[in-house]
Structure 1
Amino acid sequence: MEKLVSSWYKNKPLPESYIFPPETRPGNLTVPTCKTIPVIDLGKAEGRNRTRIVQQICKASEEYGFFQVVNHGVPEDLMKESMDVLKEFFEMPAEDKAVLYSEDPRNRCRLSTSSVNYAREKVHHWRDNLRHPCLPGLEDCIQLWPQKPIRYREVVARFSIEAKKLGSRILEFVAEGLGLEPGYFGGELSEFMQLSVNHYPPCPDPSLTLGIAQHCDPNLVTILHQGDVNGLQVFNNGEWIRVEPLQNAFVVNIGNQLQIISNDKLKSVEHRVVTNSNLARTSAAFFIAPSGDSIIEPAKSLIGQASLYRAFEFKDFLLHYFPNLENNDVVMERFRSQA
């Protein structure tokens, strides 16, 4: 528990173990706000406008690997209540959070500072992280979740259901845009969903550390509610650009598996999170992923003259991903076809 940033950060200088090498630290934080990452209005996706929305989603997925969605159908009051209860979790007394603290990545529900292994990290991230499964079997998953705050399980369960609906809807649009049959991304390709909640306390020197280092997501697609505090940055055309928080919006992030299935038509793009010295930031990311035994390979109708990736089981991808998560080229090269 003493390793949680929120338990010791106040009035303390930045520890050396949180200082990133010069080539990876954010340095000057005046990166441009991206005015071109598309904001897509899903409220216009019915009837004659559907084709245009599908085209917008696929174009954004090809060019940026990211887009934001508004009028997505998730109730605004549920979004606010969910973020309130997640913030409330991190504000609880240390003794209430201690029961969930673990440095073992095999623990299905755990509170830590690391997504992989704290002891093996070269540099630690400036964040506390709570993660747990949501699917399959929501009722069973709920039994693993925090029991405090009292309303956590009820509120986050409703939020999870809505996030899965939104993710499934977006995947249907993607399938349509790629020319795949309806339901292509259903079943075991999107069977699992995990919630990762990141809490970034104010940092004494944001230029030297990161909330999360650069990486691509290993899953199919990520549905992110980033709250109302800046922090998310995306690498695009050789520079880091800031993704401005929009009220009641979700950020959608293309994962590695969707890039592979699309035979590189869609892009999983590197992103990171920076900190700030004044405000705490809390975000909620729903990772939608295949089952471990799922066979991942490019869709046959998208192969054209060459399949760029060999077939593999998703669990094998994860075994290679986590030791190399900050070097996506190394991760993806392992699974490319050897022509």
Structure 2
Amino acid sequence: MAAEPLSNGAAHQSVPGRYILPVHKRPSSSVKGKVAPPVLPIVDLGGDDDVRIAEEIFRAGREFGFFQVVNHGVPEEVMGAMMRAAEDFFGLPADEKMVYYSTDGKKLPRFHTSTRNGDGEEFLYWRDCLKIGCHPPEWPHKLGAALEPYTAAVTAVARRVLRLAAVGLGLEEEHFEGSLSGGGMMNVNHYPPCPDPSLTLGTGPHCDPGLVTVLMENVGGGLQMLLHGDGDAGGSGMWVDVEAAPGALVLNFGHQMEVISNGRLRSGEHRVVTGARAARTSLASFVWPELECAVATAQELVLAPGEVPLYRPYSYGEFLGVYVAEAGHRDAVMAHFKH
């Protein structure tokens, strides 16, 4: 289903039909009462007490799969320049942006309006997206000078978090290095104001396919995570807002972290709701394995009596094929890999 990107024209006065979701997929369909949003755990990466930081990352990953980091080392001017470059891209004249438009999911850089198939239904989410490669950085615009320093700084944050996550799991600090974290990409997402946020979503419910995602956004609000009860990993739950402190980066673990940790760390299921007033732009930097990389539960985590791997080994390329075929639906994806 090809569609004109939302950012190409004037503000919409109503939601076009192809963006209106089936009733059971609309934002209100999965709200089961009202609760106060939880405080997103804050992990201070400053200082050299790695044991303390590793414990905090482990607790946040076990409970939510989401946390925010402060004192992360990404300079404010680097973050600001990258966000301005992203906002400027979506503000370009349509003909300049459309040079990069493609429906080929393997093409990078790629500008598109998101589409998704689910349960035999085809519809569009309220989002424009620019996908760019990060190895090496690829930016399809003259403002690309902002990308390289931002990518380098955010990658350093992700790799430090992965080392600390390994420590928190009781693994060697280098466990996630090499081909397990050798791939990556960035989604530059743009969510224009929506005339009726009750009818659509910016992004549907999903877990990220990789190891860890680092997110920066220009305005708060929109991102929601699925909050589960104790012991409930993948069933019912409550959607709650992810609210981060100014200047913080939001991180979430993906499917590969849950598999490698044998379920000790949660892949954070999330979605994006739309807003009627302000446009929201976010940059999601993904760290994931190389396609040929063999992924398996860390053997050190299944040596105790009664411990068994929850998932079978696979290549990351196989996983991505399943992820795309199942449209990112968490339970359907993971069912292919459970023992």
Fold in common (TM above 0.5): yes
Rounded Cα–Cα distance in structure 2 between residues aligned with 1:16 and 1:314: 36
Report matched runs for 1:148-297 at 5 Å. Answer: 148=141, 150-151=142-143, 153-237=144-228, 238-297=237-296
Equivalent pairs: percent with the same residue? 40
Are the equivalent residues in 1 in contact too, given 2:81–2:146 (CA < 8 A)? yes
CA shift in 2, pair 1:31/1:79, >3 Å: farther
Which deviates further from its counterpart, 280-289 or 49-58? 49-58
Report matched runs for 1:14-29 at 5 Å. Answer: 14-27=15-28
Are the equivalent residues in 2 in contact too, given 1:31–1:242 (CA < 8 A)? no
Rounded Cα–Cα distance in structure 2 between residues aligned with 1:299 and 1:326: 24
Report matched runs for 1:127-138 at 5 Å. Answer: 127-135=127-135, 138=136
Give the Å deviation of 1:109. Answer: 1.3
Are the equivalent residues in 1 in contact too, given 2:117–2:327 (CA < 8 A)? no
CA shift in 2, pair 1:170/1:43, >3 Å: same
RMSD: 2.0
AA of the residue aligned to 2:312? R
CA shift in 2, pair 1:121/1:248, >3 Å: farther
Give the Å deviation of 1:36. Answer: 2.6
Rounded Cα–Cα distance in structure 2 between residues aligned with 1:197 and 1:279: 17
Give the Å deviation of 1:202. Answer: 0.2
Q: Which 4+ runs in 1 deviate beyond 4 A?
A: 28-33, 115-118
- Secondary structure in 2 aligned to 1:40? strand
What residue is the counterpart of 2:297 in the other structure? 298
AA of the residue aligned to 2:45? L
- Secondary structure in 1 aligned to 2:256? helix
Once the two structures are superposed, what CA deviation does each residue of 1:78-111 show, in whole Å capped at 9, x if it has no partner? 1111101110110011111111000111212100
What residue is the counterpart of 1:68 in the other structure? 68
CA shift in 2, pair 1:9/1:255, >3 Å: farther
What residue is the counterpart of 2:46 in the other structure? 43
Give the Å deviation of 1:117. Answer: 7.9
Once the two structures are superposed, what CA deviation does each residue of 1:234-258 show, in whole Å capped at 9, x if it has no partner? 0002211001142111111100001
Rounded Cα–Cα distance in structure 2 between residues aligned with 1:312 and 1:285: 25
AA of the residue aligned to 1:161? A
What residue is the counterpart of 1:319 in the other structure? 321
Rounded Cα–Cα distance in structure 2 between residues aligned with 1:309 and 1:9: 48
Rounded Cα–Cα distance in structure 2 between residues aligned with 1:308 and 1:217: 19
TM-score computed with the length of structure 2 as normaliser: 0.91
Give the Å deviation of 1:324. Answer: 1.5
Are the equivalent residues in 2 in contact too, given 1:129–1:197 (CA < 8 A)? yes
AA of the residue aligned to 2:4? K
Rounded Cα–Cα distance in structure 1 between residues aligned with 2:200 and 2:64: 25
Q: How many residues align?
A: 324
Give the Å deviation of 1:218. Answer: 0.5
AA of the residue aligned to 1:301? E
CA shift in 2, pair 1:180/1:328, >3 Å: same
What residue is the counterpart of 1:104 in the other structure? 104
TM-score computed with the length of structure 1 as normaliser: 0.91
AA of the residue aligned to 1:36? V
